């Protein structure tokens, strides 16, 4: 189990980057970076070793050197070369990889670990859980699912550039909405808020389904809990992932000021928009104690 990869999953705008950046400070963890995604060749991992330091989201630093440092990346250009466009563009509902895709991904990740000189691989992926696909490559892989209040997620999604550029005339991923969810979207006149809420719900439900169907190590982490107690939550993740204690992680975490940004949805969303989100995501929000 100690050499199994660790996948951080969850809907975009859920705090996945901040959380994974902290976790990736572990001295034994190799990861996909901005250099991996730009140049593809795993040999760029040598750059990680040369810098001996990682970059972070620009909003958390004004250090000019930060833009040159290797930063954690979802690296979809790399995934597309390894597994095809479907990995980036579709919901991958219960999709299994071909033997060629298995070999491509396993070999590539082995080289990533080699050139970064690390023992374990971890990465983050937002949107569809892709649990069935990944678990058919790495049996008994570890999955850390990051969940955030859908009100805050939707408020962020409808204002973020990559989502605005895509547009809200159709779902972000092919097959992300079932027929029943499509009908709900039509009920709300196909509004952007309704679509973002339905995508959050679809990801939540599919993650629950695939995590139960597959034989995986699975851990749910709430963004709100991390923002309030980052060190405590990171210790739990490290223990779950069967990793050794890391001074690097906790030194990095203590140097950063994490803040729960959920309050912003009240500034960005109207009362009616909040009601739409709560109506669409009601069952999940009750399960997660996001509704009183």
Q: Where in the chain are the domains?
A: 6-287
Q: Which segments of the chain have a pLDDT < 50?
A: none
Residue in 34, 22, 7 with CA at minimum distance from that of residue 121? 7
Q: Reduced to 3 states, what is the DSSP secondary structure of residue 223?
A: helix
Q: How far is CA 167 from the centre of its chain?
A: 21
Can you tell me the distance from the alpha carbon of 27 to that of 187, in angstroms, rounded to the nearest whole number? 50
Can you tell me the distance from the alpha carbon of 154 to that of 277, in angstroms, rounded to the nearest whole number? 8
Token readout for 217 is 């190590």
The whole-number pLDDT of residue 2 equals 60
The tens digit of pLDDT for each residue in 133-184 reads 999 999 889 999 999 999 999 999 999 999 999 999 999 999 999 999 999 9
Q: Is 54 in contact with 18 (CB distance < 8 Å)? A: no
- Which CATH number describes the domain made up of 6-287? 3.40.50.300
**At CA 30, angle to CA 145 and CA 224, rounded to 5?**
30
The whole-number pLDDT of residue 275 equals 98
The whole-number pLDDT of residue 122 equals 98
The whole-number pLDDT of residue 289 equals 97
pTM of the model: 0.96
Can you tell me the distance from the alpha carbon of 141 to that of 5, in angstroms, rounded to the nearest whole number? 6
The end-to-end CA distance of the chain, in Å, is 39
**At CA 65, angle to CA 63 and CA 70, rounded to 5?**
115
Largest distance between two CA atoms of the chain: 55
The whole-number pLDDT of residue 87 equals 98
């Amino acid at each position: 189990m100690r050499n199994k990869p660790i996948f951080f999953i969850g809907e975009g705008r859920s705090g996945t980057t901040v959380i994974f950046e902290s976790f990736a400070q572990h001295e034994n963890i190799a990861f996909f970076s901005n250099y991996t995604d730009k140049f593809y060749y795993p040999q760029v991992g040598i750059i990680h070793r040369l810098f001996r330091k990682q970059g972070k989201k620009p909003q958390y630093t004004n250090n000019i050197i930060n833009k040159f440092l290797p930063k954690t990346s979802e690296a979809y250009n790399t995934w597309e070369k390894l597994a095809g466009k479907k990995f980036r563009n579709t919901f991958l509902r219960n999709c299994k990889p071909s033997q060629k895709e298995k070999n491509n991904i396993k070999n590539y990740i082995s080289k990533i670990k080699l050139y970064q000189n690390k023992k374990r691989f971890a990465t983050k992926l937002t949107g569809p859980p892709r649990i069935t696909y990944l678990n058919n490559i790495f049996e008994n892989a570890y999955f850390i699912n990051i969940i955030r209040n859908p009100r805050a997620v939707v408020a962020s999604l409808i204002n973020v550039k990559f989502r605005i550029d895509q547009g809200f005339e159709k779902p972000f991923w092919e097959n992300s909405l079932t027929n029943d969810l499509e009908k709900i979207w039509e009920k709300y006149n196909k509004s952007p808020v309704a679509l973002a809420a339905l995508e959050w719900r679809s990801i939540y439900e599919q993650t629950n389904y695939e995590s139960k169907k597959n034989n995986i190590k699975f851990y749910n982490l709430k963004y709100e809990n991390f923002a309030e107690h980052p060190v405590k939550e990171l210790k739990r993740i490290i223990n779950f992932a069967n990793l050794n204690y890391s001074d690097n992680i906790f030194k990095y975490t203590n140097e950063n000021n994490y803040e729960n940004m959920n309050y912003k949805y009240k500034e960005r969303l109207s009362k009616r928009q909040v009601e739409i989100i709560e109506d669409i995501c009601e069952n999940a929000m009750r399960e997660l104690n996001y509704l009183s």
